Amino acid sequence: MAEQSELNRLFWQSRRGMLELDVLLVPFVKEVYPGLDAEDQRRYRKLLSCEDQDMFGWFMQRGEPEDEDLRRMVRMILDRVQPK
């Protein structure tokens, strides 16, 4: 039960109110987050604490986070949606 409530909380935190972020974060938390190891889950939660404008810039590839954890998570999310 606690795991499902945690996923529900993360789902709502992933809804940022900015379409560009929502289309990346919501499917990621639903489809990928449950299978991540504990460290990557921690990194995702850390990403959610960032400002929307910062995340928007990172996901639009106008810059990268200075923090290595955040950089890894941004890359992981982008790799899901970008063609190779």
CB atoms within 10 A of CB 48: 15
For residue 82, what pLDDT is reported? 87
**Domain segments of the chain as ranges:** 18-81
CATH code assigned to 18-81: 1.10.150.250
Q: What is the separation of C-alpha 11 from the centre of its chain, rounded to a whole number of angstroms?
A: 10
Q: Is the pLDDT of residue 2 over 80?
A: no
Model pLDDT for residues 14-54, shown as the tens digit of each residue: 999 999 999 999 999 999 999 999 999 999 999 999 999 99
How many separate helices (H) and strands (E) can be counted in the chain? 5, 0
Calpha distance 33→66 (Å, rounded): 22
